[in-house]
Amino acid sequence: MIRHITDEGIVIRRFNRQEADRQLIIFTKNHGKISATAKGVRRPGSKKAGHLELFSHVQVELVNTHGYLTITQAASITTFPCLSSQLPLTRQAFIATEVLDRFTVFEENYTDLFLHYLEFLKRTNQADPASTDSHLSAFEVHLLQSLGFGLPETINPFTLKAFIESILDHPLRSTKV
């Protein structure tokens, strides 16, 4: 098993662990979706904390000890400030991230999907909040096609949502935001 990993990725999920640690799900360019622990990141003086926010495009260095990945270094490549300050854009990013997270498996390489997801975040960050549905629909269509699920007969936000939920056999939680 690989001991040291250096890769770029996007933080798609995070949750607190213990007193000062945070568990992160990072969608990486070369290693797919991985789970890693950021030790001490919740302490007030942590240097990694600002780099490991949701939707952050980061360069991470990880070490594999006893089968668990631990983040040793993190540096921001791109941040998306509009995604955290404008609710309609945040909603679109959460929906795309939930769909991506639910359709992908851990440690499977999805380089093309990573690049398309990164492009989606860049476009959404720069978009007018009223026009983000087209970006989300384009991302969902690409995801479905690249993973081999096909497409619904008509393509619009409502049919795509229903089609995705029928494949997942569960409603999307992020659409309720």
pLDDT range class, residue 43, cuts 50, 70, 90: confident
pLDDT range class, residue 1, cuts 50, 70, 90: low
Q: Are residues 74 and 86 in the same domain?
A: no
pLDDT range class, residue 19, cuts 50, 70, 90: confident
Q: Are residues 85 and 168 in the same domain?
A: yes
Q: Are residues 101 and 167 in the same domain?
A: yes
Q: Are residues 74 and 40 in the same domain?
A: yes
Question: What are the pLDDT digits (tens) for 81-129?
Answer: 888 888 889 999 999 999 999 999 999 999 999 999 999 999 999 887 7
Predicted TM-score (pTM) of the model is 0.90
* 45: containing domain: 4-78
Q: What is the CATH number of the domain that holds 22?
A: 2.40.50.140
Q: Are residues 94 and 121 in the same domain?
A: yes
Q: Are residues 136 and 69 in the same domain?
A: no
β-strand partners of 6: 61
pLDDT range class, residue 156, cuts 50, 70, 90: confident
For the cut 80, the answer to whether the pLDDT of residue 45 exceeds it is: no
For the cut 90, the answer to whether the pLDDT of residue 67 exceeds it is: no
For the cut 70, the answer to whether the pLDDT of residue 2 exceeds it is: no
For the cut 60, the answer to whether the pLDDT of residue 8 exceeds it is: yes
Query: Is 177 among the domain residues?
Result: no
Q: Are residues 89 and 56 in the same domain?
A: no
How many structural domains is the chain composed of? Answer: 2
Residue 110 tokens, joined: 């999805």
